[in-house]
C-alpha cells in the first residue's frame, strides 16, 4: 500500500496538509467508538472551549464540521447570507479565486476586488466601497487572512477599522485556513464575524474537520439567511449543543481525539510561542530566498506570510520541474505554482509542527534542485543566510531548559 517508497522520511513542505506530530498520530491510533456514549460529548465539550482560545474569541461558537476548508467556506456563507446578497470579495490568488467561484455559484452578488497576484487585498478600494454604501447594500466582506497560493497576508485589523469608521454593519467573514494557529489571529479584537480553518493546516491533523467559528452577529444572521443548507446548517449543531450530545450526525472519533492532542500540544508550547516560531521560520525562509538571488512572489514586506513563501523563478526555468524533481530526487514535497503563477513560482510551506533543522534540510534540498535545473545558485548560501538568523535568535526549547 505504500506507493513509491523511498529511503528516509518524506520532507513535507507543501502549505497543507502538513506534518502530523507523533503525539497526534498516536492519539488517533484507535478503534471507533459509540459517539452517543457519555465519553465523546465529555471530550467534545473541552474541544469547543479550547478551539475558542486558538481563535482568540470568547463570544464565538465553534462548529467542528466533518468536511474540508471548501465545506467550511460554504458553511460560513450559506448560514449567514441569502442568494442575491451583495458581498465584497478579494481576488488575490488561487484560493480566493476558488472561494469567489463558490460565492458566485451559490448565487451571491459578488463585488470582486482583484489585485495583481503577489499583492494583498486592495483595502483602499474596500474603503471607497464602504464609504459609498450608505444604504448598507453590502452584506458581507469575504477575505482570506492569508492567501496560500501567493504567500500574502492581509491586514484584518485594517479591515475592521474601515468598517468601524463608517459604522458599516457588513459581516466580516475570514478564511483563516492557512493562518489560524500559525499567524496572529484575533477574532474578537478584530470583530471577525465568521472565521474558518481546516484541520490539516496549522492544527497539524489529517484533513476532515472544517472548523467554523461564528460570532454573535453571525449567529443572529443565520436565523434569517435564506441559502438552502442542511449538512452545513449551524442550526442542527446548536440544537444538539443544547441537548448536550453535541453531534447532529456522526463525527470522526479519530479526529476528535487528534484535535484534543493537537490543542494540548499547542497549549503546552504556548500559542504565542507557536506564532513566534512560525515568524522565525518564515523570516529564515525569506532570507534564504534572498540569498539565492530569487524574488518572493509577495511584492511588499507588509504582506509577507509566515506560513508559506511563494518563490518566483527566472523565466527560463519551469517551476513545475522544480517541484517534480524535489519529489523524485529528494523526497521533498514543495507546493506548485497555481493558475496565473503556474510554472512561475514554487511554494515552500512552513507551517505546522516544524523546527529549524527540518526547514534547513528543505532549504538545502531546494538549493540542489535549483542547481540541477540550471539556476546558478551558490550551494549552501540559503542555508547560511537562514541559519545565521536562526542561530542568533532561536531561544532554547523552553521545556528543555
The residue within the footprint of its own copies, chosen from 145, 260, 286, 347 (CB under 8 A), is: 260
Q: Which of 48, 112, 275, 364 binds its own copies (CB under 8 A)?
A: 364
Of 93 and 248, CB closest to its own copies:
248
19, 57, 148, 153: which one binds its own copies (CB under 8 A)? 19
Q: Is 53 in the site for its own copies (CB under 8 A)?
A: no
Q: How far is CA 316 from the centre of its chain?
A: 31
CB closer to its own copies, 10 vs 59? 10
Span 72-91, contacts to its own copies by CB under 8 A: 73-74, 83
**Which CB, 171 or 338, lies closer to its own copies?**
338
Residue closer to its own copies, measured from CB, 200 or 222: 200
* 9 near its own copies, rule: CB under 8 A: yes
Any binding-site annotation on 347? yes
5 is a site residue for its own copies (CB under 8 A): yes
Minimum CB separation of residue 301 from its own copies in Å reads 24
Residues between 269 and 308 that touch its own copies (CB under 8 A): 269, 274, 277
CA dihedral 208, 214, 219, 225 (to 10 degrees): -60
Query: CB under 8 Å to 376, separation ≥6 — which residues?
Result: none
Residues 6+ apart with CB under 8 A from 116: 299
Sequence-distant (6+) residues with CB within 8 A of 52 are 58, 60, 62, 213
- Of the candidates 197, 251, 209, the residue with the CA atom closest to the CA atom of residue 55: 197
List all residues 6 or more positions away from 118 whose beta carbon is below 8 Å from its beta carbon: 150, 152, 297, 298, 299, 310, 341
Alpha-carbon distance values, 316 to 116, 118, 319, 343 (Å): 22, 20, 10, 10
Residue 361: all three cell numbers together: 534540510
150, 178, 200, 305: residue in contact with its own copies (rule CB under 8 A): 200
Q: Print the binding letters for residues 224-243 with its own copies: x by CB under 8 A, - otherwise.
A: ---xxxxxxx----------
381 binds its own copies (CB under 8 A): yes
Closer by beta carbon to its own copies, 98 or else 125:
98
**Which residues partner with 110 through β-bridges?**
87
State the binding site for substrate. 347
Amino acid at each position: 500500500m505504500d506507493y513509491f517508497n523511498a529511503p528516509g522520511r518524506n520532507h513535507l513542505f507543501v502549505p497543507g496538509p502538513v506534518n502530523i506530530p507523533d503525539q497526534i498520530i498516536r492519539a488517533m491510533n484507535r478503534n471507533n467508538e459509540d459517539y452517543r456514549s457519555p465519553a465523546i460529548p465529555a471530550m467534545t465539550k473541552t474541544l469547543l472551549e479550547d478551539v475558542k482560545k486558538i481563535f482568540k474569541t470568547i463570544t464565538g461558537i465553534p462548529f467542528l464540521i466533518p468536511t474540508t476548508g471548501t465545506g467550511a467556506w460554504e458553511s460560513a456563507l450559506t448560514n449567514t447570507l441569502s442568494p442575491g446578497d451583495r458581498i465584497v470579495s478579494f481576488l488575490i490568488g488561487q484560493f480566493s479565486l476558488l472561494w469567489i467561484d463558490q460565492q458566485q455559484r451559490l448565487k451571491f452578488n459578488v463585488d470582486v476586488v482583484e489585485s495583481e497576484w503577489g499583492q494583498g487585498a486592495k483595502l483602499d478600494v474596500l474603503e471607497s466601497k464602504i464609504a459609498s454604501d450608505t444604504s448598507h447594500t453590502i452584506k458581507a466582506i469575504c477575505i482570506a487572512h492569508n492567501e496560500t497560493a501567493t504567500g500574502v497576508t492581509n491586514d484584518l485589523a485594517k479591515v475592521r477599522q474601515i468598517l468601524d469608521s463608517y459604522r458599516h454593519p457588513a459581516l466580516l467573514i475570514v478564511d483563516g485556513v492557512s493562518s489560524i494557529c500559525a499567524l496572529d489571529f484575533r477574532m474578537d479584537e478584530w470583530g471577525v464575524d465568521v472565521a474558518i480553518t481546516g484541520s490539516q493546516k496549522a492544527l497539524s491533523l489529517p484533513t476532515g474537520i472544517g472548523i467554523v467559528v461564528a460570532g454573535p452577529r453571525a449567529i443572529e444572521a443565520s436565523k434569517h439567511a435564506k441559502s438552502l443548507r442542511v449538512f452545513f446548517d449551524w442550526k442542527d449543531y446548536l440544537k444538539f449543543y443544547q441537548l448536550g450530545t453535541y453531534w447532529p450526525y456522526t463525527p470522526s472519533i479519530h479526529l476528535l481525539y487528534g484535535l484534543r492532542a493537537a490543542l494540548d500540544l499547542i497549549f503546552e508550547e504556548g500559542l504565542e510561542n507557536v506564532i513566534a516560531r512560525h515568524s522565525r521560520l518564515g523570516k529564515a525562509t525569506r532570507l534564504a530566498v534572498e540569498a539565492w538571488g530569487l524574488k518572493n512572489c509577495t511584492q511588499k514586506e507588509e504582506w509577507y506570510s509566515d506560513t508559506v513563501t511563494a518563490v518566483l523563478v527566472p523565466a527560463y526555468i519551469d517551476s513545475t520541474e522544480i517541484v517534480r524533481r524535489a519529489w523524485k530526487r529528494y523526497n521533498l514535497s514543495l507546493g506548485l505554482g497555481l493558475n496565473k503563477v503556474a510554472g512561475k513560482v514554487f511554494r515552500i510551506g512552513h507551517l505546522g509542527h516544524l523546527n529549524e533543522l527540518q526547514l534547513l534540510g528543505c532549504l538545502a534540498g531546494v538549493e540542489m534542485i535549483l542547481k540541477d535545473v540550471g539556476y546558478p545558485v551558490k550551494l549552501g548560501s540559503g542555508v547560511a543566510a537562514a541559519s545565521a538568523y536562526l542561530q542568533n535568535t532561536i531561544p532554547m526549547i523552553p521545556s528543555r531548559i
